[in-house]
């Protein structure tokens, strides 16, 4: 009777999706993420940043996919262009280059 189970609902998934989006955007900008703490010895290797982006993208796709399967609203967290990228599922150069519609925006600079 001790432990109380966490409430898993749309709000929980949308929060996790928002966190995954921030992680992916930080990975795109080569900023620190939790992944850096897992593999600190890899920071010296150039391929680390590509791998970090791939892992963050996979996490984002996984959570968006679960939201879709559960009919939880997730598209509101993204621009129409970003939704299209997620629905295509492939992390292409287009995603890396144009995820941020305006790379000089204040929102992009603050992340």
Q: Name the pTM for this structure.
A: 0.81
Which residues touch 13 (CB under 8 Å, ≥6 apart)? 63, 66, 67, 70, 72, 74
More confident residue, 20 or 33: 20
Q: pLDDT tens digit string along 50-101?
A: 899 999 999 999 999 999 999 999 999 999 999 999 999 999 999 999 999 8
Which residues touch 22 (CB under 8 Å, ≥6 apart)? 111
SS3 for 57-82, per residue? HHHHHHHHHHHHHCCCCCHHHCCHHH
């Amino acid at each position: 009777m001790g432990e109380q189970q966490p409430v898993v609902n749309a709000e929980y998934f949308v929060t996790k999706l928002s966190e995954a989006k921030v992680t992916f955007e930080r990975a795109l900008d080569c900023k620190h993420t939790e992944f850096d703490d897992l593999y600190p010895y890899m920071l010296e290797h150039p391929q680390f940043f590509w791998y970090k982006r791939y892992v963050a993208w996979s996490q984002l796709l996984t959570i968006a996919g679960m939201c879709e399967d559960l009919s939880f609203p997730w598209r509101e967290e993204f621009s129409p262009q970003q939704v299209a990228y997620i629905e295509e599922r492939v992390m292409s150069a287009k995603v890396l280059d144009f995820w941020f519609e305006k790379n000089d925006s204040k929102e992009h600079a603050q992340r």
